[in-house]
Amino acid sequence: MPSENKSTQPGIMTTNSYGKSRVRLTKIVREGDIHNIKELTIDIQIQGEFDRAFLSGDNSQIVATDSMKNTVYVLAAKNEFESIEEFGSILAEHFIRTYKHVSGVTIEIEEDLWQRVVLDGKAHPHAFFGAGGEKRWCQVATDRTRATVSSGIRDLRVVKTTASEFWGFIRDEYTTLPEVRDRIFGATIASTWVFDKADHDFNLCYEKIRSAIIEVFATHHSLSVQQTLYEAAQRALDRCNTVKSISLIMPNQHRVPFNLEPFKLENTNQIFITTDEPYGLISATISRK
Amino acid sequence: MPSENKSTQPGIMTTNSYGKSRVRLTKIVREGDIHNIKELTIDIQIQGEFDRAFLSGDNSQIVATDSMKNTVYVLAAKNEFESIEEFGSILAEHFIRTYKHVSGVTIEIEEDLWQRVVLDGKAHPHAFFGAGGEKRWCQVATDRTRATVSSGIRDLRVVKTTASEFWGFIRDEYTTLPEVRDRIFGATIASTWVFDKADHDFNLCYEKIRSAIIEVFATHHSLSVQQTLYEAAQRALDRCNTVKSISLIMPNQHRVPFNLEPFKLENTNQIFITTDEPYGLISATISRK
Amino acid sequence: MPSENKSTQPGIMTTNSYGKSRVRLTKIVREGDIHNIKELTIDIQIQGEFDRAFLSGDNSQIVATDSMKNTVYVLAAKNEFESIEEFGSILAEHFIRTYKHVSGVTIEIEEDLWQRVVLDGKAHPHAFFGAGGEKRWCQVATDRTRATVSSGIRDLRVVKTTASEFWGFIRDEYTTLPEVRDRIFGATIASTWVFDKADHDFNLCYEKIRSAIIEVFATHHSLSVQQTLYEAAQRALDRCNTVKSISLIMPNQHRVPFNLEPFKLENTNQIFITTDEPYGLISATISRK
Amino acid sequence: MPSENKSTQPGIMTTNSYGKSRVRLTKIVREGDIHNIKELTIDIQIQGEFDRAFLSGDNSQIVATDSMKNTVYVLAAKNEFESIEEFGSILAEHFIRTYKHVSGVTIEIEEDLWQRVVLDGKAHPHAFFGAGGEKRWCQVATDRTRATVSSGIRDLRVVKTTASEFWGFIRDEYTTLPEVRDRIFGATIASTWVFDKADHDFNLCYEKIRSAIIEVFATHHSLSVQQTLYEAAQRALDRCNTVKSISLIMPNQHRVPFNLEPFKLENTNQIFITTDEPYGLISATISRK
């Protein structure tokens, strides 16, 4: 068997990309006694003229991924930013401007959210507790002509205990699910939205869209996950004008009624088996007309 | 090599236990339009006269773990309970009373916490969102003479950006850590407390101890994780008289200052590498005098 | 604030999809005393005319995701298959043929791999142990005109302790990484390949490509992750003619030399800090000429 | 509400411990061209006279956990060792000897296992692939008078497709599980054994006990998980004389027969739902007579 010998080369490289993933940054900003904490995890990917590295191990075009990691910390130190979208743009522009042979940059940032401790009704200046599994997310994708900013929520866990029905679906030989007029509806929602104008307040938009989703989830009388998802997306577009499209992904995390009949009890829609899998997965993208 | 043949029997069984783990229960309680949701994960372990099952495969003493699972759902349907500690006691007593050859039962319950959605300042009757990674926990351990109830918090994530020092520790040939007068202090706290009286309000105690821990974490000027942990435990004992001892476990989740010198910048205690590992792990138990 | 009222409808739905995820199947096939076990996790997504469900909650076009789950088990019972690709095709064809309003189906299958226990040099007929974290994977994507089959490996963990260099990369103000002529190279490889002919042996191809990747990883003197990845892809195309393109993703999981100087010791390329994050992430697709 | 003020001190500290967790070490040992790789994760905990740190923030007795981390790498560089048990003993002895006020040390080590790549039937000198999820583990616990060494296996995943029955268990009002004469038996086994003599070959013992467990799992006709567990423990004691007791933990990871009746098919013990939870959990300790 050949070993050190090169293979014949039956293929040509059609795409390639590389970068650094999970660069973890804590930044403290102090305004007098009031401290703010940001904890971000950053992924960087770049495209460009890197063929020589792949084909012959010539690294002269390669920005080391270790240097990318350094760049995150250095630019975080040098720049003020109000949102992850801003910091993502700073990073994307840095790479595209500094390295002429880089044709595209994608920055993804996930933010761990912290909530200020409140004591005796007063927000504490420098102590925080974890604001849940929910994360804020953004992606800034740049090429030499334009940048696209997407923002999002990840892991927004919700449940409602009524006002959810599911019936009228196809019944055929593969169907055993009974129709139900009152079920639990639980999901861990992810949403991503894309901006179409340069001028927007990312933080305000985040709050508005998050509220719109939770509000629709809570108040909409649901005939299907599909219908609630669609309505939440419309409400979000309605609330934030700078967004041109929004995607929602809703896993339908089933609570299965436990069969109490063998125990001579009736399950009055009260006792359920909580399950993680399998789960329904519903997604759609709604774009502004 | 022998296969079906029995081994020689060089040993005797000194302990054994069995049960069902991760029984997941959702229970909805409705008070008119107002719904409450409880989502619990229950682990059951029993000890007793089960030697014949181990030694000869005679299962006549064995309560099937599947029956234990059924019991969780049946007893959840038949009983009202205000706290996981109460439900744990109901389960523990059931097994010890029903099966005479069972000598000990341990029930552990973890509660996923849900927070009511608030719209226009009004709590929603049936919609909830995930109240973070934090979980409530309890253990009820019973033998034929008495039961011990322990309660706890798991995964309480906190961070403070100042008022934490660490210096004056042993400096020897293995020491490279600089002394520091102002550092970030982050932890994911677990606490377990043991009650000594039969008569107590588990839910109130939980709130009081949780507040005490967060309050001390926020306000205590820390010279070490040890000192803050100790103070938090004392405060908790102070707030809840029915608790006879409390344990705290605090992982010290380091934020490491990023060295900006190679980039001709000064790190004014502002830019850090967030790390998960390695981490310091400090624990202690404080018992009421 | 409006609640039950519909939002204004500023958007139109541009894409949607739904299905069932993480349907977990164990299938035992017996050939006399010799048993075979397959453990698969299946994800199903369908596209088609589902607008009425999203827009008005009319579910008459909806195949319940619960029925999709049933279908997995029923078709697994009715059909023999030699590979996950075959079973994926059976599922995809079923959905596209049975439901006229379904325009596209995507099936993804992940296989947990089991290895037969060997006792006294003999393969055991019905006992197995876990063959590592490595998983086999496939995707079958069908519309009404054609199906595309992709196959892959996930979580193939490898490490080599020498024959890996990294130097000659860009050195600028963001660079602190030293050049290195002998480093550890570790990765958890994922690879996906696409077939271009109807007639192929999926299992044989899997074995050939897996061997090609491991062989190149082991024997290639690496000047960069990029170069090794490229060579592995070429070798794979060389070994399996029915594959028209292959993608590889290689996270560069760093082992960082521990600085022994403060302890008056020299690190002779022997003692390292094992890290999970951050990591370099290199990917490319190589297509047959 | 008081904040900086000290709490009243209702409690006294009854136990405390601290240390460093998840110190991750890669060590390469070269014998000519043949390289060996060890990847270990080390947890250190020490007990002793640390009261002043807890009570008043006086750190003069404190070995910084950062120094503990350094110590791992320094002692790994200075010492040769053949097994994790040996390295654990080196670490434990170091801490107990160096720091007079330390009364107890517990070292836990988990080893990620690597398997040498084989090409053309020849073991490769420096390339390895991941040998599965299975991990080797040990604990060395020392006080000033003696050390106890325990060893173990973690995450040994096994399944058998027949030769497992379960019947004759208690049938009462909580029982719905049918009796079964032929079921799948799957588990992710953990085992811990304790040595009673100073003189033993840890690596040989590991291989012998691992083989004994797998052998019994494969060949024993099981009437219950309890019975198979007991037999595996006896076989292990039989094979390794220096072990004085062994514990086994076996989660019973159920494969639930899928009900094919609604689809007018018979399930001939062939089609199962793979589940993770709930699971049975059986454990026992067998001590040498």
Per the CB < 8 Å rule, is B74 touching A263?
Answer: yes
Name chain D contacts of C271, Cβ cutoff 8 Å: 25-27, 73, 76-77
pLDDT at C8: 83
To the nearest whole Å, the CA of D282 is away from the closest chain C CA by: 19
Q: Which residues contact C144 (CB under 8 A, 6 or more apart)?
A: C96, C103
CA B48 to chain A, closest CA, distance in angstroms equals: 26
Question: Is pLDDT of D4 > 50?
Answer: no
Looking at beta carbons, which residues of chain D come within 8 Å of B170?
60-64, 67, 99
Distance CA D162, CA D141 (A): 41
SS (H, E, C) B197-233: CCCCCHHHHHHHHHHHHHHHHHHCCECCHHHHHHHHH
Token output for D263: 């689809």
Per-residue pLDDT tens for D85-122?
999 999 999 999 999 999 999 999 999 999 999 999 99
Question: Is A119 in contact with D3 (Cβ distance < 8 A)?
Answer: yes
The verdict on a CB contact (< 8 Å) between A173 and D1 is no
Contacts of A277 in chain D (CB under 8 A): 276
From the list D77, D218, D267, which residue is nearest C77 (CB)? D267
D220 a catalytic residue: no
Q: Find chain C residues with C-beta within 8 A of A22's C-beta.
A: 276-279
What are the CB-based long-range contacts (under 8 Å, 24+) for D161-164?
A: D161/C28, D161/C30, D161/C35, D161/C37, D161/C126, D161/C128, D162/C35, D162/C126, D163/C126, D163/D220, D163/D221, D163/D222, D164/D221, D164/D222, D164/D228
Which residues of chain C neighbour A53 with C-beta distances below 8 Å? 224, 226-227
Task: Indicate yes or no: CB of C4 within 8 angstroms of CB of A219.
Answer: yes
The CB density around residue A181, as the number of other CB atoms within 10 Å, is: 10
How far is the C-alpha of B34 from the C-alpha of B60, rounded, in Å?
46
Residues A219, C282: C-beta atoms closer than 8 Å: no
Q: How far apart are CA A6 and CA A4, in angstroms?
A: 6
| Non-local CB neighbours of C178 within 8 Å, separated by 6+ positions | none
Interface contact B1-C174, CB threshold 8 A: no
Contact A263 D174 (CB under 8 A): yes
pLDDT at C197: 72
Q: What's the distance, CA C280 to chain centroid?
A: 19
Looking at chain D, list the stretches that DSSP marks H as alpha helix, in order from N- to C-terminal side: 51-56, 65-78, 84-98, 202-219, 225-239
Residue type, C251: P
What are the pLDDT tens digits along chain C (289 aa)? Answer: 334 456 689 999 999 999 999 999 999 999 999 999 999 999 999 999 999 999 999 999 999 999 999 999 999 999 999 999 999 999 999 999 999 999 999 999 999 999 999 999 999 999 999 977 899 999 999 998 999 999 999 999 999 999 999 999 999 999 999 999 999 999 999 999 999 876 679 999 999 999 999 999 999 999 999 999 999 999 999 999 999 999 999 999 999 999 999 999 999 999 999 999 999 999 999 999 9
Predicted TM-score (pTM) above 0.90: yes
Contact A149, A140 (CB under 8 A): yes
Q: Which of D20, D69, D94, D208 is catalytic?
A: D20
Orientation angle between helical segments B225-239 and B202-219, nearest 10 degrees? 150
Cβ within 8 Å, pair A127-B184? no
User: Please, are residues D134 and D113 in contact by the beta-carbon 8 Å criterion?
Assistant: yes
Tell me the pLDDT tens digit for each residue of A217-242.
999 999 999 999 999 999 999 999 99
Give the mean model confidence (pLDDT) for residues A247-265: 97
Chain D residues closer than 8 Å to B216 by CB? 7
Interface test with B, best of A26, A254, A264 (most B CBs within 10 A): A26
* Strand stretches in A144-288, DSSP E: 147-160, 185-195, 243-252, 255-257, 271-274, 279-288
Q: Give the C-alpha separation, D56 to D50, whole Å.
A: 10
In this complex, do D263 and C74 lie within 8 Å of one another by their Cβ atoms?
A: yes
Q: What pLDDT was estimated at residue B2?
A: 38
Write out pLDDT tens, residues D68-87: 999 999 999 999 999 999 99
- pLDDT at residue C4, rounded to an integer: 46
CB pairs under 8 A between A and D: 15
Beta strands in chain C (DSSP E): 11-31, 34-48, 102-119, 122-143, 147-160, 185-195, 243-252, 255-257, 271-274, 279-288
pLDDT of residue A245: 97
Q: Which residue of A120, A276, A277 is in closest CB contact with D1?
A: A120
pLDDT at A4 over 50: no
C175 CA to chain B: closest CA distance, Å? 9
- Output the pLDDT for position C199: 65
| Nearest CB neighbour to B234, from listed D11, D282, D283 | D11
Work out the number of other CB atoms within 10 angstroms of the CB of residue B226: 29
Tokens coding B207:
């709130």
Q: Is B266 exposed, middle or buried (0-12, 13-18, 19+ CB in 10 A)?
A: exposed
Question: Which residues of chain A are within 8 Å of residue B188 when distances are taken between CB atoms?
Answer: 130
Give the residue from chain B lying closest to D276, CA to CA. Answer: B22
Q: Would you state the pLDDT for residue C7? A: 66
Other Cβ atoms closer than 10 A to A179: 12
Q: Which residue from A minimizes the CA distance to B214?
A: A117
Give the neighbours of chain A: at least 3 Cβ pairs within 8 Å. B, C, D
Dihedral sign, CA of C171, C175, C181, C184?
A: negative
User: B158 to chain A nearest CA, in Å?
Assistant: 4
Helices assigned H by DSSP within C57-136: 65-78, 84-98
Name the DSSP letter for residue D226. Answer: H
Lowest mean pLDDT: which of A157-171, A272-286, B82-96, B125-139? B125-139
Q: Which of A27, A41, A65, A148 is an active site residue?
A: A65
Do the Cβ atoms of C3 and B119 come within 8 Å? yes
Cβ contact D184–C28 (<8 Å):
yes
Q: pLDDT tens-digit profile of D144-167?
A: 899 999 999 999 999 999 999 999
Contact B15 D57 (CB under 8 A): no
Distance in angstroms (rounded) separating the CA atoms of residues A82 and C172: 28
Distance of CA C66 to the CA centre of its chain: 25
Rounded to a whole number of angstroms, the distance from the CA of B70 to the nearest CA of chain A is 9
Nearest chain D residue to B275 by CA distance is D22
Share above pLDDT 90 across residues of chain A, in percent, rounded to a whole number: 94
Which residues of B are known to be catalytic?
A: 20, 65, 254
> Is C1 in contact with B120 (Cβ distance < 8 A)?
yes
d(CA A139, CA A123): 31
pLDDT value, residue D261: 97
Looking at the complex, report in whole angstroms how far the Cα of residue D243 sits from the nearest Cα belonging to chain A: 41
Q: What is the pLDDT of residue B7?
A: 66
Query: Exposed, middle or buried, D172 (CB in 10 Å: 0-12/13-18/19+)?
Result: exposed
Residue B24, min C-alpha distance to chain C (Å) = 18
Element housing B116 (H / E): strand B102-119
Cβ contacts of A120 on chain D, cutoff 8 Å:
1
**D88-123 b/e with 16+ CB inside 10 Å = b?**
bbbbbbbbbeebeebebbbbbbbbbebebbeeeeee
Q: What is the pLDDT of residues D250-265, one digit of tens each?
A: 999 999 999 999 999 9
Quote the CA–CA distance of C129 and B98 in Å, as a whole number.
Answer: 38
Q: Can you list the residues of chain B whose pLDDT is less than 50?
A: 1-4
Instruction: List chain C residues with CB under 8 Å of B117.
Output: none
Contact yes or no for C141/C106 (Cβ under 8 A): yes
